[in-house]
Structure 1
């Protein structure tokens, strides 16, 4: 890693930056007098909860704020103040001076254009290269970011790449003209731990090669520990603490920073070399879900694709089973099959002894009444046209349970349980924060008093403090309602905190299954060891050791 020159002129600097938005209710002060520098070759992490002003700060540097934004102060890119700069001049600076890596690569890439077209476009727009020369440069970029067979794959479209490969392509576009500043806005949030580790390694290498300054926006403290040189903490639009990553993460001074770090789940005491976990059976378990040699197929264009094969497990009342693995491993496919959204091709998948593959549709509906579900994105899973009260009572209406007054009473009871005020029933989803929406999703899932709760990545889109509150709520609600829970996640620290048992999936097959202590702290399978080695921890010194241990482990496998 190259050393950062403390005397170098900043690649990106903010001086007394203020951003206000003109709304119907008056001016909203989103960023309050922020001053911050990013040197060439330095990674500065900007952290804080949703609404703290992180993304507004970055979009101010890109000149992408909406028309109702009132901006004062300075945001300098390579010495040029972009505040108040004409749009044509800002547009010329994008990609050449400053570039952005967005959170979700599928929305950053145009789905109807080939990767070649999208990469070549950058060279042509800035009069850098045309025709065959531009294509050759694009192929080199794909090779640089680790896309295999770039000469062939450059002709393909975004949907033909995995999530990690799409993010690599977005990074290739961002670095195509060797910008002085790269803004990485949650670049690994949607990725599983092994792909995340690869992307962080790539960003680290490119930063050294290009000598670019990187402004890293994230709520993942493990990513901060892995990549950042300095940390800046934002709270309600203000910068409350800055300093070297080691100081801020291990000895925070501001109460808000302390609160943020205390909320981070930690995966500790993992033994990656030898393993012998205890696997004592628990007597008197009341089984809710049982899978025996389950196979699940997708039917596409007359062809069959077997997504899951040979999976066996069981889940009892008042237990949580965590299913982990990389994207495409079959985690969510199992959850969908339990919900009856995908038919079981082979084997037995039974809820309270009733095999979902063999019962009638009417009986399946009755079984599904005993299952609640919480999805990954609360904004997408709540109908924006209905008030929260109608959203909560919908399961009772569909299954014809209770009267209007008893349904409303049940809605109020569950709003109390998830610690939301009762008047929320009259609000709409867009009037609530992400954490509040996920609490509503939890309440809705429990409306019919289910014996089985399926939670598919329920906290991956949430800030660490909100995530901690939702996880604590799941544990409290389980104690109160005694449901079994199937918890799908790629965050191993969250699974370690919450689950009693863990099932590890790879390419549709079960590679390891057992108690959480045995699987996550004494893993037997090489694949589980790779997953654990890739999970970052929020301590820079420990993370450096884990990074070296991961490289040694990968070299030995």
Structure 2
């Protein structure tokens, strides 16, 4: 294997000219990727990771002032014009984007998008290009490739769409692939498959990969070397074992300390989860069924005969992959989706039988935290009004009492009182999620439904929000249904765990019973696929997962180079 770098950043410096002055996004960065090597560029949002990667494709906007040099193969990107850049993209460097639905054209069939890339770069044309497109889909593990090639992106699952994007990146045999958060939007089992595919890709085709991520488990699973970015600079650089197991820089240490570790249980974020001391039920779900009507077809059953409960002062984790029915249950518990049958008793009252004022009165006792704070906060209201809105809706208190309550809640969620008159867009993602939590607690709810409340946050922000959440649960004593696909987060918070698949409960029990001694095949698959931020332990877990899949009759995902060699 030649050691000559396929991608180099030499003293890369990027500044953006904005209406508020110059923003120094990348400060004198030096980094290289060699053939057959995975280099992980890690750091939080705003650290400059994606700006660095975009430089390699010559895609930065016109207000960017670029210093230093970016070299792909033997080509200096900063010296090329538009036509020359188009030759470099695809042929020498390709990109796998974070969200495949934004990277794929929704009105063009999958196969045509693959042939377009090949025809633009003169790799293949007509029937030959189509045949190669089908071979590429087979190579990345998509079944029934001939049929899938004729489908539109929306007809594929998230994991399949990401495989299509990887196939597009491979279509012109590039020397280096830049993978920008390639698994963030994927379920844990699909993520494990995609990582297996990328690993197979670099081993068999000797392709260099620059992996951009904030997920330390993914880094432990994939990376040969790791570069940690902070405020536009690389603050630490070394092998995966050096950086993840023996970090030197305070920022790297802080980043790793904030990563939840599956198996470490409660108290990972400094606050111990209190034991439940009562048998009084805050939520009781019995034989719950939710169906969606479809014109001319049999109704789709999204939730099928589900039964579980949540006691006062208890956190129950509801886990499963996308489409398992988790969020549907959460919305139904708020009365936002009608139930087909079954019983939901919230604080002793059957939610499915209440209407009008009775339902509104019960809703006062239920708080909700949504997944995306940017979408769930009214952008036209200042933060004080956002948090006070539940009191206004339910006609509680006067203006002075509401303001005092908002100040009290801002203190509780560790936000400055000066945030009272600021708008949501003026806050960071973590601060907006704290506002969502404050709003959910405005009316002192007895039951809180939290739907993926930390999935959109950086790891250190997630840790501070989870620590605060634990403190608040201890202080206010609310029952909580915590919906998540992150098993490590559930491990750090929950007293009991309910696992769902295809609308049904496949396993439930205490945190220890489900996460440490799973009985059901599906739960074992989920646990085996969850990465941990220790490269040595993760290598063992990966081997154990492959053995588990083989024992269950499943194939381990690998790149099939036979399809590419034809």
Band the TM-score falls in, shorter-chain normalisation: over 0.9
Shift of 1:22: 0.9
Q: Deviations over 1:149-200 (max 9, x none)?
A: 0111111111111111111111111111111111111111111111110010
RMSD value, Cα: 1.6
Query: How far 1:451 moved relative to its partner?
Result: 1.3
Partners of 1:29 and 1:335 in 2: CA distance: 42
* Alignment match, 2:77: 82
TM superposition shift of 1:301: 2.6
1:238 CA displacement: 0.8
- What is the CA-CA distance between 1:302 and the residue it aligns to? 5.0
| Residue matched to 1:224 | 219
Quick check: 1:244 aligned with 2:248? no
> Is the 8 Å Cα contact of residues 53 and 237 (structure 1) preserved in structure 2?
yes
Aligned to 2:562: none
Bigger shift: residues 221-230 or 375-384: 375-384
- The 5-angstrom pairing of residues 86-485 of structure 1 reads 86-268=81-263, 284-301=278-295, 303=297, 304-485=299-480
- 1-side partners of 2:323 and 2:12: how far apart? 43
Mark the runs of 5 or more structure 1 residues left unpaired by the alignment.
Answer: 271-280
Whether the 8 Å contact between 2:319 and 2:499 is mirrored in structure 1 is yes
CA distance in 1, matches of 2:98, 2:549: 27
Contact 2:278 2:311 (C-alpha < 8 Å) held by counterparts: no
Contact kept in structure 1, 2:276 and 2:312, CA below 8 Å? no
Whole-Å Cα distance in 1 between the matches of residues 50 and 384 of structure 2? 32
Q: Distance in 2 between matches of 1:16 and 1:166?
A: 35
CA distance in 2, matches of 1:312, 1:333: 14
1:449-486 per-position Cα deviation (integer Å, ceiling 9, x unaligned): 21111111111121111110011111011111111111
Counterpart for residue 64 of structure 2? 69
* Alpha-carbon separation, structure 1, partners of 2:541 and 2:389: 47
Which whole-Å CA distance do the structure 2 matches of 1:520 and 1:237 have between them? Answer: 38
Helix, strand or coil: the match of 2:485?
coil
| Larger displacement relative to structure 2 (250-259 or 109-118) | 109-118
Q: Distance in 1 between matches of 2:335 and 2:353?
A: 11
Are positions 1:30 and 2:33 aligned together?
no
Tell me the secondary structure at the aligned position of residue 188 of structure 1.
Answer: coil
CA contact (8 A) 2:264 2:492 kept: no
Deviations 1:192-222 (A, max 9, x none): 1111100100111112222211111111111
Aligned length: 542
- TM-fit CA distance, 1:255: 1.0
Please state how far the C-alpha of 1:42 moved relative to its aligned partner: 0.5
Alpha-carbon contact 1:185-1:216 (below 8 Å) kept: yes
Cα shift readout 1:215-256 (whole Å, capped 9, x = no counterpart) = 111111110000000000011111000000011111111111
**Preserved CA contact (<8 Å) 1:189 1:460:** no
Q: Is the 8 A contact 2:263 2:515 kept in 1?
A: no
Q: 2:40 aligns with which of 45, 51, 56?
A: 45
State the 1:131 CA deviation: 2.0
Q: What TM-score does the superposition give when structure 1 sets the normalisation length? A: 0.95
The residue that corresponds to 2:50 in the other structure is 55
For residue 95 of structure 1, give the secondary structure of its aligned residue in structure 2: helix
CA distance in 2, matches of 1:119, 1:298: 35
d(CA) in 1 for partners of 2:192, 2:80: 37
What is the CA–CA distance in structure 2 between the aligned matches of 1:456 and 1:195, rounded to whole Å?
A: 21
Structure 1's 403 and 117: CA in aligned 2 closer, same or farther, altered over 3 A?
farther
More divergent stretch after superposition (125-134 vs 449-458): 125-134
CA apart distance, 1:269: 7.3
Gaps of 5+ in 2: 266-274, 553-566
